[in-house]
C-alpha cells in the first residue's frame, strides 16, 4: 500500500515537472515571437513617420522616379533627368519638379534608414565588447 502511494507521488511529480517544463518552453517561444513582432512594429512606425514627414510613401516615390529597388545610382540618374526636363525655363512644371525632388528626398531617407539598420546589425554581430 505504501509502495503504491509512493509510486503515485513520484508519477504525479513527473507529470507536474513535464507540464512546468512545457509551460516554460511555451513562454520562451511566445516571448521570442513578441520581441520579433515588436521589432517589426518599430520598423513600420519609422516608415510611417517618414511617409508623414515627406508627404510621399515609399511606393509613390519609387513610381515617380521609376525605380523598382533602392539603387542609389539609378535613383540619382532618374532624378537628374526628371528634374532637368521639368525646369520652368525649359517649359516644365514647377509642381512636377517639386514632386521629383520630394521623391528623391524620400528614397534618400529610406536608404539612410537601411544603412543605419545595417550598421546596427554589424555591431550586434561583431560584439560590442571586443578587446
Domains, the chain, in order of start with CATH, read: 56-127 (1.10.287.110)
Judged against a pLDDT cut of 60, whether residue 128 lies above it is answered with no
Mean pLDDT taken over the chain: 82
Q: Give me the helix-helix angle, 58-65 and 94-126, nearest 10°.
A: 120
Q: What is the pLDDT of residue 63?
A: 92
Q: What is the pLDDT of residue 20?
A: 77
For residue 24 the three cell numbers come to 516554460
Higher pLDDT: 41 or 120? It is 120
d(CA 111, CA 130): 28
Count CB neighbours of 110 within 10 A. 19
Judged against a pLDDT cut of 80, whether residue 23 lies above it is answered with no
Distance of CA 116 to the CA centre of its chain: 11
Find where cell 520598423 sits.
43
* Entry pTM: 0.57
* DSSP tag of 88: G
Amino acid at each position: 500500500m505504501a509502495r503504491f502511494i509512493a509510486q503515485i507521488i513520484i508519477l504525479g511529480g513527473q507529470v507536474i515537472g513535464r507540464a512546468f517544463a512545457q509551460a516554460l518552453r511555451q513562454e520562451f517561444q511566445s516571448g521570442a515571437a513578441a520581441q520579433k513582432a515588436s521589432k517589426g512594429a518599430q520598423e513600420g512606425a519609422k516608415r510611417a513617420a517618414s511617409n508623414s514627414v515627406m508627404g510621399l510613401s515609399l511606393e509613390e516615390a519609387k513610381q515617380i522616379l521609376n525605380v523598382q529597388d533602392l539603387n542609389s545610382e539609378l535613383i540619382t540618374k532618374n532624378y537628374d533627368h526628371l528634374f532637368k526636363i521639368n525646369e520652368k525655363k525649359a517649359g516644365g512644371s514647377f509642381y512636377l519638379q517639386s514632386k521629383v525632388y520630394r521623391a528623391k528626398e524620400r528614397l534618400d531617407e529610406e536608404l539612410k534608414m537601411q544603412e543605419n539598420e545595417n550598421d546596427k546589425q554589424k555591431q550586434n554581430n561583431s560584439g560590442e565588447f571586443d578587446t
